Amino acid sequence: MKVAVEEISSVKKSLKIEVPEEVVTKELESAYTDLNQRVRIPGFRPGKAPRSLLEQRFRSSVEEDVIRKLVPDYYKRAIQETGLRPVELPAIEKVELKKNAPLLFTAMVEITPPIPLGTYTGLKAQRPKMEVTNIEVDKALEALQEQHAQLVAWPEDHRIAEKDFVVLDFQGSMDGRPLEGGSRQNHLIQVGSHSMIPGFEEQLIHHQRGDRIKVQTTFPKDHPKADLADRAVEFDVTIREVKQKVLPALDDEFAKDVGKFASLDQLRENLRVDLTARTRLEQDRAVRTALLKQLSEAHPFEVPSSLVEQEVQESLARLQQRLPKGVTLEQAKIDPQAVRKEIEPSAREKVKGRLILMAIAEREQLTVTKEEIDAALLRTAQELKLSSEDVRRLIVSQDGSLDVFKARLLEDKAMDWVVSKAVIE
């Protein structure tokens, strides 16, 4: 095998690979021998058809099979021989397969760039001053109170008002025909929450339990579904229940109910401890961000565009997941190209930081042990309320293996090492 590496850029290489003629000839011979046993040619017994006839009829498919077998194998050998570290699958170009000649092809590939490490110890960063105030504790307590609020039915003669909770059935129609997906049973809404289309909730006000009413309104002009935008719609509505939200009293009994605390003061202290832990995490995150920025500025190098594209695609996917099911970015009036332009710089910096941290991990011979992987899986499982094995299967189904998960742990370990060698004020 012969390999010639042409440098397109510091991260992009062109590998011109030559598979020896004898290897190609052997594979062609084997392919035609196998083919001769499988095909039926009129006038010839199985395995006795002349090679020239097989070449005439099946040459293209045989050569395609040989190429599919040899190209991946010899690309892998070329990567091992050159010591390159690709970050993406190659683009295979200029494949030439001729009889009694070597197989020639070109592989275009992006690689992990060489990172000549400079100073990465003794960096300086300031830990931001953050204190947990009584006001923040009060807000946390109020949020907990909201979580344990109960919906209690109003008296039957109560007239619906703003902020009331209403359980209702409804069926929408347009132009006299039922609206597809426009019906619900025992649907709970809060009047004034704007969870329904504009004009719906306001028409419930002053009605009461048991009323059957018609609500007429219009879909907004910018509705995600173009066939509904700016269209009039009528809903037949039956009001099943009308409820109010009742907050529990903030007293010792409440503290016992929400967490088996002896008193409200003990609950407040527990909330303060939790808030303090979160504050410390934010401080740590700020320190790590500042140090990573210094590392990035101190190490100029070209970042592989394919890795940046992967990061951008992951960000776009996360944005898509936050939208209602079946609604595209375009339908939600979100311009993917504008979002891409906005997030690409941060994606590039994120990739650059990861590459620097992996280089530091390699220089300092940092590794991630099986025990550390298992511990990280357990933490993730506890956060997701799943078993460790379920989390493992989930990661493997998404990434194909635990390699990406392990790489993230190694990056974190390298960042911890940089923090441990930094001067934090």
Per-residue pLDDT of 310-339, as tens digits, reads 889 888 888 888 887 777 787 777 888 888
**Fold exhibited by the domain 151-246:** Chitinase A; domain 3 (3.10.50)
Whether the CB-CB separation of 137 and 275 falls below 8 Å is answered with yes
Band of pLDDT at residue 108, cut at 50, 70 and 90: very high
Lowest mean pLDDT among 225-239, 282-296, 394-408: 394-408
Strand ranges (DSSP E) for 254-316?
none
Can you give the pLDDT at residue 47?
67
| Pairing between β-strand 212-218 and β-strand 150-153 as defined by DSSP bridges | unpaired
Residue 71 CA: distances (Å) to CA of 75, 162, 321: 6, 69, 38
- Gyration radius of the chain's alpha carbons: 33
Per-residue pLDDT tens for 22-42? 898 888 888 878 777 777 777
Superfamily of domain 2-110: Trigger factor ribosome-binding domain (3.30.70.1050)
Can you give the pLDDT at residue 399?
67
The span from the CA of 366 to the CA of 369, in Å, is 10
The contacts of residue 64 (CB under 8 Å, 6+ apart) are none
pLDDT above 90 (res 150): yes
pLDDT above 90 (res 65): no
The span from the CA of 356 to the CA of 362, in Å, is 10
| Pairing between β-strand 423-424 and β-strand 124-125 as defined by DSSP bridges | parallel
**Fold exhibited by the domain 303-424:** Trigger factor, domain 2 (1.10.3120)
The span from the CA of 168 to the CA of 146, in Å, is 23
Whether the CB-CB separation of 315 and 347 falls below 8 Å is answered with yes
Three-state DSSP state, 186: strand
Three-state DSSP state, 241: strand
pLDDT above 80 (res 292): yes
Can you give the pLDDT at residue 396?
81
Average pLDDT over residues 299-310: 90
**Residue 307: exposure state from Cβ atoms within 10 A (0-12, 13-18, ≥19):** buried
pLDDT above 70 (res 213): yes
pLDDT-above-70 percentage for the chain: 99
The span from the CA of 333 to the CA of 224, in Å, is 7
Per-residue pLDDT tens for 389-415? 888 888 887 766 788 888 899 999 999
The span from the CA of 50 to the CA of 43, in Å, is 11
Q: Give the tokens for residue 377.
A: 């899986």
DSSP output for 41-94: -TTS-TT-S-HHHHHHHHHHHHHHHHHHHHHHHHHHHHHHHHT--BSS--EEEE
Locate the domains of the chain by residue range.
Answer: 2-110, 113-149+251-301, 151-246, 303-424
Average pLDDT over residues 84-91: 87
Q: Name which of 269, 262, 260, 264 is nearest 249 in CA terms.
A: 264
The span from the CA of 27 to the CA of 62, in Å, is 10
Q: Give the tokens for residue 314.
A: 């992951």
Residue 64 CA: distances (Å) to CA of 217, 268, 316: 62, 72, 37
Whether the CB-CB separation of 230 and 221 falls below 8 Å is answered with yes
Whether the CB-CB separation of 108 and 12 falls below 8 Å is answered with yes
Band of pLDDT at residue 43, cut at 50, 70 and 90: low
**Continuous segment of H or E residues that includes residue 375:** helix 370-384
Ramachandran sector of residue 206 (left: φ over 0; alpha: ψ -120 to 50; beta: rest): left
Per-residue pLDDT tens for 354-394? 999 999 999 999 999 989 988 888 888 888 888 888 888 88
The span from the CA of 304 to the CA of 108, in Å, is 13
